[in-house]
Amino acid sequence: MKTKIIGGTVLTEGELRRAEVLFDETGILAVGEKTGEADTVIDASGKYVLPGLVDVHVHFREPGFEEKETIRTGSAAAARGGFTTVLPMPNLKPVPDSVETMRKELEIIDRDSCVHTLPYGAITKGEAGQELADLQGMYDLGIRWFSDDGVGMNDQKLMAEALRFSAEHGCIIACHTEDLSWREPGASVHEAPYAYEHGWKGIPDECESEPLANDLMTAAKAGGYYHACHISSHKSVEVLRAAKMAGVNCSAEVTAHHLLLENTDVKGTNWKMNPPLRTHKDRMALIEALEDGTVDFIASDHAPHTVFDKAKPMSQAAFGIVSLETSFPLLYTHFVKDEKRWTLEQLIAWMSTLPCERFGMNDRGEIAVGKKADIIIADLDTEYTIDVKTFRSKGKNTPFDGARACARVIRTIAEGITVYEETGEEHAD
């Protein structure tokens, strides 16, 4: 069935212009002033028509931790946040480290996901860092990215083996860089005077930057496609920049919360994430690194937890916040509308086009003829207040409850099918 979007301002070919978009389930058929007949017409007057967002780092918790999130609820949250493609991490039960366990996850995704959900396989068996998982078997199933996210993988011999596989097969090795020898038990926030003032144990920059430096040295020798997850420290930016200048095939992501918040914003466990919020110097280094291309794009690290998980002392509460439903609105509001530091085109590149380019998803990330019909329609003017009670995610663990925002996703379309449409109840303002 052919559908046409009319009246909107469309981001196409890298610029914003008034245009129609004609599409069906097979893809985008035409973009222009007049695009032909359609079975259904969507009026986007006064709204913006944008490529569906792409998030290469989410946690959907299923199988194994369905009390926190499921594929169904996680993908619904993604759709509401404007994400049409998401890549869930493998810290699950069972860990998807073989053909059998990966098939189980893929079956759930095929049954329950309303957006493109393309999972990571584990790099090592059980994410234990002792022996490589069945990378070839999972690759033959169509898996094109591997990670031991949630766990630092610090055996450089295994890292070299994984990267050589990456080089041979053109797949991504994505790493959560963390060396627990730098982190005391119970440490929960960035190591700084603010932590000591509140009686919290701190996590130093080196917990992230030192293993990252080691990984990048291995990548320089072994080749392959290395990707650093959720960079948070100015020291990590420095080693990443040096590696890129030396020609290492590497990329990195930064989260919305590390771009928006600092360690002195922490008020409780809903501000506890791993890596932690760091200093103003770190936050500015991340922003500048994103702008100069040292850090490649933005990911959410959506990490839902139960109320019980967070209703503990800071030293014991779970790390992580939910962010699929808040990342785009908050980044647009802060950096595009208020600060006017970024353009909408830049933000969409970092949240759609560039992750697609790095991860080889060349059939999406743009509104162009032949691309997948993955599209969002957004109201970028009407202000509202973020309210966790409206979240589609099971997780309500966010520091942004009550925050002001002005970018609302009105409709999300994945492969030509509307998977989210605002009902009017989401934003009471």
Whether residue 364 lies inside any domain: the answer is: no
Whether residue 363 lies inside any domain: the answer is: no
Structure confidence at residue 16 (pLDDT) = 98
> Does residue 134 sit in the same domain as residue 278?
yes
- How many angstroms from the chain centroid is the CA of residue 34? 35
How many domains does the chain divide into? 2
Q: Indicate the SS3 state at residue 274.
A: coil
Distance CA 302, CA 273 (A): 10
Contacts of 251 (CB under 8 A, 6+ apart): 225, 226, 227, 228, 296, 297, 358
Distance CA 144, CA 207 (A): 28
pLDDT in tens, the chain (429 residues): 999 999 999 999 999 999 999 999 999 999 999 998 999 999 999 999 999 999 999 999 999 999 999 999 999 999 999 999 999 999 999 999 999 999 999 999 999 999 999 999 999 999 999 999 999 999 999 999 999 998 999 999 999 999 999 999 999 999 999 999 999 999 999 999 999 999 999 999 999 999 999 999 999 999 999 999 999 999 999 999 999 999 999 999 999 999 999 999 999 999 999 999 999 999 999 999 999 999 999 999 999 999 999 999 999 999 999 999 999 999 999 999 999 999 999 999 999 999 999 999 999 999 999 999 999 999 999 999 999 999 999 999 999 999 999 999 999 999 999 999 998 655 544
pTM, to two decimals: 0.97
Structure confidence at residue 426 (pLDDT) = 57
Distance CA 387, CA 424 (A): 14
Boundary-marking domain end, from 358, 386, 411: 358
Is residue 80 within 8 A of residue 91, CB to CB? The reply is no
Query: What is the CATH classification number for the domain harbouring 128?
Result: 3.20.20.140
CA-nearest of 115, 117, 116 to 419 is 115
> Does residue 28 sit in the same domain as residue 148?
no
Candidates 55, 296, 301, 374; catalytic one: 301
Question: How many other C-beta atoms can be found within 10 angstroms of the C-beta atom of residue 9?
Answer: 18
Boundary-marking domain end, from 358, 381, 404: 358
> Does residue 317 sit in the same domain as residue 415?
no
Whether residue 428 lies inside any domain: the answer is: no
Contacts of 124 (CB under 8 A, 6+ apart): 97, 130, 131, 132, 133, 148, 153, 158
Q: Indicate the SS3 state at residue 209.
A: helix
Q: How many CA atoms lie within 13 A of 51 on its CB side?
A: 33
Boundary-marking domain end, from 327, 358, 389: 358
Distance CA 393, CA 386 (A): 14
- CA-CA distances (angstroms) from residue 135 to 112, 177, 218, 315? 25, 20, 19, 35
Structure confidence at residue 429 (pLDDT) = 45
Place of tokens 């990048």: 216
Contacts of 128 (CB under 8 A, 6+ apart): none
Strands of 297-299's sheet in order across: 145-147, 172-175, 225-228, 250-255, 297-299
Distance CA 300, CA 325 (A): 10
Instruction: Identify whether 149 is a catalytic site residue.
Output: no
> Does residue 68 sit in the same domain as residue 198?
yes
Contacts of 281 (CB under 8 A, 6+ apart): 234
Whether residue 396 lies inside any domain: the answer is: yes
Structure confidence at residue 424 (pLDDT) = 64
> Does residue 406 sit in the same domain as residue 337?
no
Whether residue 163 lies inside any domain: the answer is: yes
> Does residue 300 sit in the same domain as residue 404?
no
Whether residue 391 lies inside any domain: the answer is: yes
CA-nearest of 424, 378, 414 to 11 is 378
| Helix and strand element counts for the chain (H, E) | 13, 22
Structure confidence at residue 244 (pLDDT) = 98
Query: Could you list the residue range(s) of the whole structural domain that residue 381 is in?
Result: 3-49+372-421
> Does residue 223 sit in the same domain as residue 321?
yes
Annotate 310-345 with b (16+ C-beta within 10 A) or e (fewer): beeebbebbbbbbbbbbbbbbbbbbbbbeeeebebe
> Does residue 278 sit in the same domain as residue 406?
no
Query: What is the CATH classification number for the domain harbouring 409?
Result: 2.30.40.10
> Does residue 156 sit in the same domain as residue 267?
yes
Whether residue 238 lies inside any domain: the answer is: yes
Whether residue 140 lies inside any domain: the answer is: yes
Is residue 226 within 8 A of residue 170, CB to CB? The reply is no
For residue 53 the two structure tokens come to: 């967002």
Place of tokens 């770190």: 282
Structure confidence at residue 423 (pLDDT) = 81
Structure confidence at residue 253 (pLDDT) = 98
- CA-CA distances (angstroms) from residue 210 to 63, 78, 149, 207, 423? 32, 33, 17, 6, 48
Q: Is the dihedral of CA 267, 269, 270, 276 positive or negative?
A: positive
> Does residue 191 sit in the same domain as residue 287?
yes
For residue 104 the two structure tokens come to: 């189980």
> Does residue 412 sit in the same domain as residue 307?
no
Contacts of 377 (CB under 8 A, 6+ apart): 5, 8, 42, 44, 47, 48, 49, 50, 409, 410, 411, 413
> Does residue 193 sit in the same domain as residue 292?
yes
